[in-house]
Structure 1
Amino acid sequence: MPDVTVLTVKLYGEPIGTLTHLGDERSIFAFNDAYVGNADRATLGLSFKDQYGELRNDFKPIKMKLMPFFSNLLPEGHLRSYLADKAGVNEKREFFLIQALGRDLPGAVTVEAADPDTWPVSDDVDDQVMTDSENAHDNALRFSLAGVQLKFSAVIDAAGGLTIPASGIGGGWIVKLPSREYRGVPENEFSMMTLAQMVGINVPPIDLVDIGGIKNLPDGIDQLGDKAFIIERFDRREDGTSVHIEDFAQVYGVYAEDKYKKASNRNIAAVIAAESDHADIAEFIRRLTFNTLIGNGDMHLKNWSLIYPDQRNAKLSPAYDFVSTIPYLPNDQSALNFSRTRRFDEFTEDELLHLASKAALPRKLVIDTARETISLFMDRWWAEKAHLPMSTDVVDTIDKHLMTLPIIGEALT
């Protein structure tokens, strides 16, 4: 591996700072003078603002890991291990891992070696993982399927089919293949996201596609299921430019392994109320209520994100990763506390009023939005559940789950 000590961090293609390797596995981030001195600078993340809204630039060295904002840009699990191996990097050495993967990170951040002559480690990864070689695709996909669900970037080709980008850079869609452990996850997610759209939630373009229509997949994928779920990347525009995003693990400075800890839905609501407007507060309550109704126990900090459409001001991003988890984990509960509890059957109007009080949300807006969402959901659920592609087990599990939620009776009486 090339001997790299300084990485340039760019936002929308403009250098804003550096990640520096200090030796002894320590690294530190610092903004450059031009970014600090620019009163109209684009926002990198809320965690870089102090309590007065001023830019922080007093970061301490961190050993092995990067600071949470940058650490959360890296993949997790088996895909992380695989890409680190291809790059010849210990997966725990995040400074070198982000060097290898830094050209196609979430949002509008890119990271590259300050000395361009040291960049080929990333090219090595692209050559080995995302080439046109059938074997390279085969190996990458077979390894990643050890995880719950594989995600990769894809682009729509001229014929309307799906192609994994040869370079691995800048795909416009996320394609999620079937799970080895849980049956019917793509169908489940497509059904939940479709229902979410029906009740007024901001959902990106989605589809459920035949596995056979995706090119360069290894033999045997169809044995796991016939369908893949696809969702358009909302951090990429049609012209290929990036829109900046950050998830709430980044907002709260939490590492990915603690995404179920350190903060609550009440905390997320407070940030949205402080940074955005009533429309986003209503959208947050709508999503929180919807995911309770479907029994989604996986709405952790990385499944809520902010987006910066004007490069400076935060808005709640479009929705993603809505899956009913209770068919797979029968005793599942909310990934994060609502306000005082994470039990689905304790998500009541009183709990929402407690959340509203603690997060400084308009109480009437919160209750009216929850009631409207429940009414719309129940209408759509009874009308559509037999027509959506989820299994009968998912339908039956949600039906039973709905009978345990007292907030439905509160909203409909």
Structure 2
Amino acid sequence: MAELIALLDGNEVGRVRSDARGRLTFVYDNAWRNAEGAYPLSLSMPLAAEEHGPAAIQAFLWGLLPDNEQVLERWAKKFQVSARNVFALISNVGQDCAGAVQFVTPDRLEALKTGRDDKIEWLDEPETANRLQALREDHAAWRLPGDTGQFSLAGAQPKTALVLKDGKWGIPSGRIPTTHILKPPTGHFDGHAENEHICLRLARELGLPAAETKVMRFEKEIAIVVERYDRQVSGNDIIRVHQEDICQAMGILPTKKYQNEGGPTSADVIELLRTYSTDRDADLETFVSALGFNWLIGGSDAHAKNYSLLLASGPHVRLAPLYDIASILPYDHVDPRKVKLAMKVGGEYKLDQIGLRQWQKFSRETRADADVVTATLISMAGQIPDLVNDTRARAQKDGLENAVIERLAAALTKRAQDCERVLKGT
């Protein structure tokens, strides 16, 4: 039987076991289960049970990997394993994942725990630029051949993860975590990285907790740099903070991240927060506001994997900052009348079919205060035009030049004004 040892911020918490038929189970270490302040690897695998079967652990492991078949095939070829063997893939890239978890084979445990493998391969600006160029041209080039430090992140966009220390970028390995995610512009939706940067900044301006981003230039290459909220710097140490996305928390495979494919609904997320959050009122308010924000900006990809939970000692469970938010509205080839949200509101997916009546129905279905929900939406819609102007000006000052910026600003302003009229019935 093959095993992978799971660590949370350096503490052994259990083992993933793969039998001769490839059937996976996860078994907690009793020392961790009984430790003061212990928390689960996933809400789908509570500490009350020592062993958990294939459904939950497979959903958790697949949820750590990219939603990109091209990347998975590249990794499979590199590591000489099957692209459908999640255990084998995590065995090779599981030392730096989302959250505090690291997966390591038993023969590598001592080297990891003693720090024997700890090192950072420092990159100068040309080397960082070369990596971004390679990633922009080949979306599967998350790491280059010969790199020792491996990492895994969910999502479909091309990206790389690096550590930033004392103003220098590097590729960490061993116990040292990455601290930032770098995303170059992509050709799928021109200006998507700039779009995401502006939308996340707009969310923060509206008071929503959202990942911190900035635009950085490395020679001729531009990247959106996302500060990882699942990492905390404490003196000279970088601490991993545990998190999981909503699909992982519910034991749902990432292939079902969309509601229309059988994935979680907004009501499911709200019920999850009511059950587990250690600050229910704040997290429920944030989630409903985030749902409304995506409706206001045409954020069509806010599926269950784009919402996450932070887990810590206590156990302590909170809704994580928002991430991966972008608007579909500035793209000419998209018909706004056909744009759908990832989660229904009041029984409707389509943006232009969601109005006051649907939000009132949503409020009834989720036991939210309809007046508060409507007031929140009207408030956000009223603030967006001025905030968009400020955000656009700052983005251009930061060196963002993509034509999507002007189209995005115009589209967001018009959309907010239209939504405000709909909500007010004017």
- TM-score, normalization: structure 1? 0.81
Q: Is the aligned partner of 1:179 residue 2:186?
A: yes
Amino acid at match of 1:236: R
Q: State the aligned residue count.
A: 385
Q: Is the aligned partner of 1:391 residue 2:388?
A: no
Amino acid at match of 1:85: K
Higher share of residues assigned strand? 2
CA distance in structure 1 between the aligned counterparts of 2:293 and 2:350, rounded to whole angstroms: 14
CA distance in structure 2 between the aligned counterparts of 1:181 and 1:99, rounded to whole angstroms: 31
CA distance in structure 2 between the aligned counterparts of 1:113 and 1:206, rounded to whole angstroms: 34
Q: Give the secondary-structure state (helix, strand or coil) at the position aligned to 2:239.
A: coil
Q: Give the secondary-structure state (helix, strand or coil) at the position aligned to 1:335.
A: strand
Shift of 1:105: 1.0
| Aligned counterpart, 1:366 | 373
Q: Answer whether contact 2:381 2:416 (CA < 8 A) is retained.
A: no
Unaligned ranges ≥5, structure 1: 121-125, 213-221
| Aligned counterpart, 1:149 | 157
Q: Give the secondary-structure state (helix, strand or coil) at the position aligned to 1:395.
A: helix
Amino acid at match of 2:41: L
| Residues 297-376 of structure 1 mapped to structure 2, 5 A cutoff | 297-310=300-313, 312-328=315-331, 329-330=334-335, 331-376=338-383
> Alignment RMSD, CA only?
3.5
Q: Which moved more, 1:255-264 or 1:341-350?
A: 341-350
Shift of 1:408: 4.2
Q: Give the secondary-structure state (helix, strand or coil) at the position aligned to 2:316.
A: coil
Which of 23, 27, 32 lines up with 2:24 in the alignment? 27
| Residues 11-410 of structure 1 mapped to structure 2, 5 A cutoff | 11-38=8-35, 40-49=37-46, 55-57=48-50, 59-61=52-54, 67-77=58-68, 78-116=70-108, 137=131, 141=135, 142-144=137-139, 149-158=157-166, 160=167, 163-165=169-171, 167=173, 170-212=177-219, 222=220, 227-238=222-233, 239-261=237-259, 262-274=263-275, 275=277, 276-310=279-313, 312-328=315-331, 329-330=334-335, 331-381=338-388, 384-385=391-392, 388-389=395-396, 390-399=404-413, 401-402=415-416, 405=419, 408-410=421-423
Unaligned ranges ≥5, structure 2: 113-117, 142-154, 397-403
Seen in structure 2, the aligned counterparts of structure 1 residues 86 and 370 have a Cα distance that, compared at 3 Å, is same
Seen in structure 2, the aligned counterparts of structure 1 residues 383 and 300 have a Cα distance that, compared at 3 Å, is same
CA distance in structure 2 between the aligned counterparts of 1:202 and 1:240, rounded to whole angstroms: 21
Shift of 1:61: 4.1
CA offset digits 1:206-244 (Å, max 9, x no partner): 2111242xxxxxxxxx5xxx5311110000011311111
Shift of 1:296: 0.9
Q: Is the aligned partner of 1:5 residue 2:2?
A: yes
Q: Give the secondary-structure state (helix, strand or coil) at the position aligned to 2:341.
A: coil
Shift of 1:88: 1.9
Seen in structure 2, the aligned counterparts of structure 1 residues 164 and 349 have a Cα distance that, compared at 3 Å, is farther
Seen in structure 2, the aligned counterparts of structure 1 residues 66 and 92 have a Cα distance that, compared at 3 Å, is farther
Shift of 1:164: 4.3
Amino acid at match of 2:407: D
CA offset digits 1:33-57 (Å, max 9, x no partner): 22344464223222124xxxx7344
Amino acid at match of 1:71: W
Seen in structure 2, the aligned counterparts of structure 1 residues 385 and 37 have a Cα distance that, compared at 3 Å, is closer
Q: Answer whether contact 1:199 1:373 (CA < 8 A) is retained.
A: yes
Q: Answer whether contact 2:243 2:310 (CA < 8 A) is retained.
A: yes
Shift of 1:327: 2.9
Seen in structure 2, the aligned counterparts of structure 1 residues 368 and 271 have a Cα distance that, compared at 3 Å, is farther
Q: Give the secondary-structure state (helix, strand or coil) at the position aligned to 1:342.
A: strand
Q: Which moved more, 1:281-290 or 1:375-384?
A: 375-384
Shift of 1:116: 3.0
CA offset digits 1:135-158 (Å, max 9, x no partner): 995897353268973211123354
Q: Answer whether contact 1:266 1:339 (CA < 8 A) is retained.
A: no
Shift of 1:400: 5.0
- TM-score, normalization: structure 2? 0.79
CA offset digits 1:44-97 (Å, max 9, x no partner): 222124xxxx734453346xx952012211223133332232222212111111
Seen in structure 2, the aligned counterparts of structure 1 residues 108 and 410 have a Cα distance that, compared at 3 Å, is same
CA distance in structure 2 between the aligned counterparts of 1:60 and 1:46, rounded to whole angstroms: 14
Q: Answer whether contact 1:349 1:367 (CA < 8 A) is retained.
A: yes
Amino acid at match of 1:380: L
- What is the percentage of aligned positions where both structures have the same residue? 25
